[in-house]
């Protein structure tokens, strides 16, 4: 009886040892698994941080790029909602960049300009071709270039917009055109007087291209910028007004 009890105890002890070994193995495997999970999670977190860093650097680079110009840069969807805007356009509209994102581009324009701009953008979406146009706002003239941005399916998904204030350039161009016009007009007049003029050998009238005879001062006045003030020369004064010649030209008589 004692041998059986001892044998049973040994068997139970052996069984207990096996169970302990089994659970130790399970514990080790669980620990290894947790360790692998921890390592994989750490690697995943590191990759996520690296991706966030690259994204932040990319956003900073994009921000630096669009703010490098002193003119308006915008990116809008096909409905005119602003996706990207630089500081210049925000400053011109009296807002912060954050306030513009997600708002409608057309809300920033007077109704007539907004309607025209919407029509132009719809045409860009329809044709896939860029466009250039000018408009005036608050006394300033802007030259705008709009370019289609294509999706993977090759349809227009966005519109990139570049707008430049050309008020000063426009004024310079208008002044230049005015000057050119004035020079051409003056040149035409010079050419008119530069031709062969038929003049009467007696009364000195000039015949115009319509056959009419004009006083010489009238003809020159009508074909140039010159005008006349009438007087009388010493020789004519002596013939026509001999009694007053000495009064009119006293210096000539002093010399004598």
Please give the average per-residue pLDDT across 25-49, as a whole number. 72
E-state strands within 17-139? 72-77, 82-85, 131-137
* 137 and 214 together in one domain: no
* 95 and 32 together in one domain: no
Residue 9 in this model has a pLDDT that exceeds 80: no
* 160 and 87 together in one domain: yes
Burial code of 107-129, b = ≥16 C-beta within 10 A, e = fewer?
ebbeeeebeebbebbeebbeeee
Tell me whether residue 93 is in a domain.
yes
In which residue are the tokens 């356009």 written?
89
* 51 and 89 together in one domain: no
Indicate the SS3 state at residue 56.
Answer: helix
Condensed to tens digits (0 to 9), the pLDDT of residues 100-148 reads 999 998 988 888 888 988 999 999 999 999 999 888 877 888 888 999 9
According to the model, what pLDDT value does residue 226 have? 73
Residue 130: CATH number of its domain = 3.30.450.20
According to the model, what pLDDT value does residue 209 have? 82
Among candidate residues 66, 83, 98, the one where a domain is terminated: 66
**CB of 85 closer than 8 Å to CB of 108:** no
Distances 31 to 28, 34, 101 between C-alpha atoms, Å: 5, 5, 50
* 55 and 74 together in one domain: no
Tell me whether residue 177 is in a domain.
no
According to the model, what pLDDT value does residue 1 have? 45
Burial code of 224-246, b = ≥16 C-beta within 10 A, e = fewer?
eeeeeeeeeeeeebbeeeeeebe
End-to-end C-alpha distance for the chain, whole angstroms: 181
**CB of 130 closer than 8 Å to CB of 146:** yes
* 13 and 46 together in one domain: yes
* 76 and 158 together in one domain: yes
Q: Which residues contact 155 (CB under 8 A, 6 or more apart)?
A: 128
Higher-confidence position of 194 and 41: 41
Among candidate residues 144, 165, 186, the one where a domain is terminated: 165
**CB of 205 closer than 8 Å to CB of 213:** yes
* 75 and 161 together in one domain: yes
What is the rounded CA–CA span in Å between residue 74 and residue 96? 14
Please give the average per-residue pLDDT across 78-104, as a whole number. 90
Domain count, the chain: 3
Residue 12 in this model has a pLDDT that exceeds 90: no
Please give the average per-residue pLDDT across 11-29, as a whole number. 69
According to the model, what pLDDT value does residue 172 have? 84
Tell me whether residue 176 is in a domain.
no
Tell me whether residue 42 is in a domain.
yes
Lowest mean pLDDT among 4-8, 16-20, 120-124, 243-247: 4-8
Residue 37 in this model has a pLDDT that exceeds 70: no
* 49 and 77 together in one domain: no
* 143 and 58 together in one domain: no
Burial class (CB in 10 A: 0-12, 13-18, 19+), 182: exposed
Q: Which residues contact 151 (CB under 8 A, 6 or more apart)?
A: 157
Condensed to tens digits (0 to 9), the pLDDT of residues 233-256 reads 888 877 887 877 677 777 766 655
Residue 230 in this model has a pLDDT that exceeds 80: no
Tell me whether residue 37 is in a domain.
yes
Indicate the SS3 state at residue 84.
Answer: strand
Q: Give the rounded percent of residues in the chain with a pLDDT score beyond 90.
A: 18
* 107 and 150 together in one domain: yes
The per-residue pLDDT of the chain, averaged, comes to 80
According to the model, what pLDDT value does residue 3 have? 47
Condensed to tens digits (0 to 9), the pLDDT of residues 145-194 reads 999 999 988 899 999 999 888 888 888 888 888 888 888 877 776 655 66
Among candidate residues 51, 66, 81, the one where a domain is terminated: 66
Tell me whether residue 183 is in a domain.
no
Residue 81 in this model has a pLDDT that exceeds 90: yes
Indicate the SS3 state at residue 81.
Answer: strand
Question: What HEC string does 142-169 produce?
Answer: EEEEEEEEECCCCCEEEEEEEEEECHHH
Please give the average per-residue pLDDT across 196-201, as a whole number. 82
Higher-confidence position of 95 and 241: 95
* 82 and 144 together in one domain: yes
What residue numbers bound the domain in which 31 lies?
A: 1-66
């Amino acid at each position: 009886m004692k041998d059986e009890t001892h044998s049973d105890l040994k068997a139970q002890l052996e069984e207990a040892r096996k169970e302990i070994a089994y659970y130790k193995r399970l514990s080790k495997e669980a620990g290894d698994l947790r360790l692998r999970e921890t390592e994989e999670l750490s690697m995943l977190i590191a990759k996520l941080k690296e991706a966030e860093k690259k994204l932040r650097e990319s956003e900073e680079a994009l921000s630096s790029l669009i703010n490098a110009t002193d003119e308006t840069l915008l990116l809008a969807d096909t409905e005119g909602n602003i996706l990207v805007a630089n500081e210049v356009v925000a400053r011109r509209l009296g807002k912060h960049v954050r306030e513009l994102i997600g708002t409608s581009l057309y809300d920033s324009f007077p109704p007539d300009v907004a309607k025209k701009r919407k029509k132009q953008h719809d045409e860009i979406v329809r044709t896939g071709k860029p466009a250039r146009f000018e408009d005036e706002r608050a006394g300033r003239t802007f030259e705008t270039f709009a370019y289609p941005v294509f999706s993977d399916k090759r349809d227009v998904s966005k519109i990139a917009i570049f707008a430049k204030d050309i008020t000063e350039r426009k004024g310079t161009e208008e002044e230049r055109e005015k000057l050119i016009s004035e020079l051409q007009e003056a040149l035409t007049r010079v050419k008119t007087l530069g031709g062969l003029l038929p003049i009467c050998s007696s009364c000195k009238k000039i015949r115009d291209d319509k056959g009419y005879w004009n006083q010489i001062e009238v003809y020159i006045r009508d074909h140039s910028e010159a005008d006349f003030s009438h007087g009388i020369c010493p020789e004519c004064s002596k013939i026509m007004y001999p009694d007053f010649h000495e009064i009119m030209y006293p210096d000539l008589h002093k010399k004598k």
